[in-house]
Amino acid sequence: MPVKEIVERVHSVGVVDWDRRLFDALIPLPDGTSYNSYLVQGSQKTALIDAVDPAKLAVLHRHLDELGIERVDYLVTNHAEQDHSGGIPSVLDRFPEAKVVCTPKCAEILKDHLHLTDEQMITVEDGEVISLGDRTLEFIHSPWVHWPETMMTYLREEQILFSCDFFGSHLATSDLYGTDRGQVEIAAKRYFGEIMMPFTRVIARHLERLEGYDLKVIAPSHGPAYDDPNFILDLYREWVTGPPRNVAVVLHVTMHGSTQMMTDHLVTALVRRGVKVEQIDLTTLDSGKLVMALVDAATVLLGTPTVLTGPHPVAANAAFLMNAVKPKAKFVGLYGSYGWGTRVEQTVASLLSSLKVETLPSVLIKGMPREEDFRALDALAQQVADRHREAGLR
């Protein structure tokens, strides 16, 4: 991809990774990703913001060659994770005069991860500024969005916010700005669910703080930039502070068909009672699809057979993931089957111990479901519908 100009003397020089399909050996990337890097040239000094993933350093250096860059004074590191910071040693080899600019906490992490020295770094406090001559960089500490050391960088004169992972998306695109808003919203929502949802209380405070800034462009470290900042800001306000919706996510796995019969009946019962359902088969789980569904859901229902008295391993994995990302769901229910005995309820409760939810009565049956079991599932569906209605969910 070529270098792209945001405004005069501010360029996007990062890398689009069209083919990557897994991040951190954990997160599926159905649409690839990008490692964004931005060059800001002032009348006196030049700053490079982020240094891309080490695997793509050759592209970053080629982009700097295209612009004829002979000196970089500051290498701003908003985040110490390797896809942002891993290229720092290579950039410092090319521009030994450059100083790494980061938060004090980030400096500690970079010493451990990259063996940088104090002499190579400048730490900045929240709200501190660095002059590039006719341009000013302001540093906004944003801890726990999503690591403890993260910050954002604001180019005052051009009103550009280099937001790091905040507002990012894993989306490979040739566009500087996301022109297909539907595609961008889906990618940003997936990214929010995977990366940001555990930190919604902190993010809410940072959203309030950003209301004090005039923003013309938001340029994150992954995915397209936003030349209409309100588009992504409004989405984040909804995801972070808005109420959940009248949605039940039904997560299920079956071994010999009994739990599948229960799932089919339960989903039909929910829909008949006016509850929107997102049904996810855990045997083919895309974790990104799961967390994206959890962003809006008011209720999560987990269906699992019993394996050696506990939940099926893929159901346990889903419960563990849900506990980690901390969705704003209000209600959780459990259903499933067993052969001779079960401790599924106790195990799942321990896996969901961090969630502040109302636990609905479980429907756990022995063998294949009977009429009374289907009636119990109808009662569970009615409870979900009643709880959603009482909460005023739409």
DSSP string, 240-308: HHSPPEEEEEEEE--SSSHHHHHHHHHHHHHHHTT-EEEEEEGGG--HHHHHHHHHHEEEEEEEEEEET
Give the pLDDT band (50/70/90) at residue 1. Answer: confident
Q: Structural domains in the chain?
A: 4-241 (3.60.15.10), 246-387 (3.40.50.360)
User: What is the rounded (10 degree) CA torsion for 100, 161, 219, 242?
Assistant: 120
Which pLDDT belongs to residue 365? 98
**pLDDT > 70 fraction of the chain, expressed in percent and rounded:** 100
pTM of the model: 0.95
Which pLDDT belongs to residue 295? 98
According to DSSP, residue 147 is labeled S
Cβ atoms of 198 and 252 closer than 8 Å: no
Cβ atoms of 341 and 364 closer than 8 Å: no
Which pLDDT belongs to residue 285? 87
Which pLDDT belongs to residue 26? 86
Q: Considering only CA atoms, which of 106, 108, 122, 113 is closest in space to residue 73?
A: 122
Give the pLDDT band (50/70/90) at residue 43. Answer: very high
pLDDT averaged over every residue in the chain: 97
Main-chain dihedrals φ then ψ at residue 364, nearest 5 degrees: -115, 125
Q: Give buried/exposed letters for 185-204 (b at 16+ CB in 10 A, else e).
A: ebbbbbbbbbbbbbbbebbe
Which pLDDT belongs to residue 99? 98
pLDDT 10s digits, 95-149 = 999 999 999 999 999 999 999 999 999 999 999 999 999 999 999 999 999 999 9
- Average pLDDT value for residue range 216-237: 98
Assess whether pLDDT exceeds 80 at residue 170.
Answer: yes
- Average pLDDT value for residue range 244-262: 98
Cα of first residue to Cα of last residue in the chain, in angstroms, is: 43
- Average pLDDT value for residue range 277-301: 96
Which pLDDT belongs to residue 358? 97
Give the pLDDT band (50/70/90) at residue 188. Answer: very high
Assess whether pLDDT exceeds 90 at residue 25.
Answer: no
- Average pLDDT value for residue range 30-58: 97
